[in-house]
Structure 1
Amino acid sequence: MLTHIVFFKLKDGSPESVEKTAAVLRNMEGKIEELKSIEVGIDVVHSERSYDIALITKFESLDGLNAYQVHPVHQKVIEHMTQVREASVSVDFVS
């Protein structure tokens, strides 16, 4: 299993903006065959080093992750994230 985690810091960190973007991410569930699991979490601590949203996804293999990256549903999410994110970081590991 391959786990892909991305943290997003949004340009607009208001609760409404964060929830709207979290909903965009959650909308991928069940629409991409290679995406075996998805979890979207909204930060509750709001410390200086916090990011606004965590996306945790799981795939059977690196090939599955690569297919997800170019899937049309994910591409629409990337379009949204490009507009709203200030920064993002990711980690991919075998789990």
Structure 2
Amino acid sequence: MSTTNRRKFIATAATVAAGTVAASATNLPMEKSKYPIVHHVFFWLKNPGSVADRDRIIEGLKTLKKIDTIKELRIGVVASTEKRDVVDNSWAVSELMFFENLEGQATYQSHPIHQQFIKDCSHLWEKVIVYDAIDAV
């Protein structure tokens, strides 16, 4: 087999293998989440350039881990991803929480630790947007 034919064979085999993997991945069943209630919150700072204010909100959000109805908690800051029209990177901090049920999410809302977070940190943010969702799978 010549070098050119060998390269064509390897390239073709790699393409077929990648296509097979991609096709089989689309047939995987979606698993139902054990924590189907999603609570995603975005915070815009009053002082957008203040690392101290951003860090204070992050520290405040970490206290929410003590609320037992929160099954998972993720805290994030804006990623340096590609600029596209559909990407909103105007916020500063986000929290992503997962709950077993709507009752757990309601308990979180009125929990004293959550209320203390709001009392301690609300002066730092200009705007908050909340997206609540339930797993559709």
Q: TM-score, normalised by structure 1?
A: 0.88
1:34 has 2:34 as partner: no
Identity of aligned residues (%): 28
State the alpha-carbon separation in 1 of the partners of residues 77 and 59 from structure 2. Answer: 11
Q: Which residue of the partner structure matches residue 94 of structure 2?
A: 54
Higher share in helix: 2
Q: Which residue of the partner structure matches residue 15 of structure 2?
A: none
Higher share in strand: 1
Q: Which residue of the partner structure matches residue 44 of structure 2?
A: 9
* Count of residues in Structure 1 that have an aligned counterpart in Structure 2: 93
Structure 2 gaps of 5+ residues are 1-35
> Rg bigger for which structure?
2
- How well do the aligned residues superpose, as a CA RMSD in angstroms? 1.7
- More contact order relative to length (CA 8 Å, sep ≥ 6): 1
Q: Is the 1:40–1:55 Cα contact (8 Å) retained in structure 2? A: yes
Q: Which residue of the partner structure matches residue 83 of structure 1?
A: 123
Structure 1 gaps of 5+ residues are none
Task: Write out the 4+ residue segments of structure 1 that deviate beyond 4 Å after TM superposition.
Answer: none
State the alpha-carbon separation in 2 of the partners of residues 90 and 76 from structure 1. Answer: 18
Q: Which residue of the partner structure matches residue 24 of structure 1?
A: 60
